[in-house]
């Protein structure tokens, strides 16, 4: 990767870790790591090519616009994420873990892991993950709490109402019960 600025590289990794679950573009990473735009882009590309990081793009109707808008970045291995040891929220760590595990399982099953998206409405309502299988999609909410209430899957239910191609919804949480909370939404312990 020809990494010449090790401190800048570390700063870039730290900024990626602190932005888990948030959208961020190359210029934002460059600015926060004190790197030039081309250098930040090169380092992120190297991290992605080495399977340390991966991107999840926004779910929008126009396929071309998906790749223009800012993605979310995640670590393939949450052990790497934990190595930064700075104020990462439990929610961000749990979200990274679940999304990385779903991605790994898609790869193991020989499926296209690039068909993973997140949804964010103009009002800010967000669904953490959508996996597109072509004719149908699955949507996921990820919660770091030990219980799930109606508010925890409100955005999921609304997205499924708007997009009937989403056949099932799942709420992953840190509790222990597995149950159907709605005719198409299931609560699953992580």
> pLDDT per residue over 72-110, tens digit each?
999 999 888 878 766 788 899 999 999 999 999 999 988
User: What angle, 0 to 180 degrees and rounded to 10, lies between the N-to-C axes of helices 37-49 and 26-33?
Assistant: 110
Strand order in the sheet with 185-189: 72-75, 53-58, 116-120, 126-132, 137-142, 166-173, 185-189, 179-182
DSSP state of 146: S
CB 168 within 8 A of CB 184: yes
pLDDT at 111 > cutoff 60: yes
Q: What is the pLDDT of residue 85?
A: 66
Q: What is the pLDDT of residue 170?
A: 96
Mean pLDDT for 149-161 is 91
Q: What is the pLDDT of residue 141?
A: 96
Largest CA distance in the chain: 54
Whole-prediction pTM: 0.89
Mean pLDDT for 114-136 is 88
Cα dihedral 87, 18, 140, 188, rounded to 10, equals -20
Q: Provide the β-strand partners of residue 33.
A: none
Mean pLDDT for 127-154 is 92
Mean pLDDT for 14-18 is 89
């Amino acid at each position: 990767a020809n990494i010449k600025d090790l401190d800048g590289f570390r700063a870039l990794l730290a900024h990626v870790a602190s932005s888990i679950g948030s959208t961020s573009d190359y210029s934002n990473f460059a600015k926060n790591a004190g790197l030039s735009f081309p250098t930040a882009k090169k380092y992120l590309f190297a991290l992605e090519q080495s399977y340390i990081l991966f991107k999840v793009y926004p779910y929008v109707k126009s396929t071309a616009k998906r790749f223009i808008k800012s993605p979310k970045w995640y670590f393939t291995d949450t052990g790497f994420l934990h190595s930064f040891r700075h104020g990462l929220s439990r929610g961000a760590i749990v979200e990274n873990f679940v999304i990385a595990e779903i991605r790994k399982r898609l790869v193991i099953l020989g499926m296209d892991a690039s068909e993973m998206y997140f949804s964010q409405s103009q009002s800010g309502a967000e669904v953490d993950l959508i996996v597109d299988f072509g004719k149908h999609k699955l949507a996921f909410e990820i919660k770091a709490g030990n219980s799930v209430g109606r508010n925890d899957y409100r955005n999921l239910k609304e997205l499924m109402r708007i997009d009937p191609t989403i056949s099932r919804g799942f709420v992953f949480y840190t509790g222990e019960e597995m149950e159907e909370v709605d005719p198409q939404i299931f609560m699953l312990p992580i």
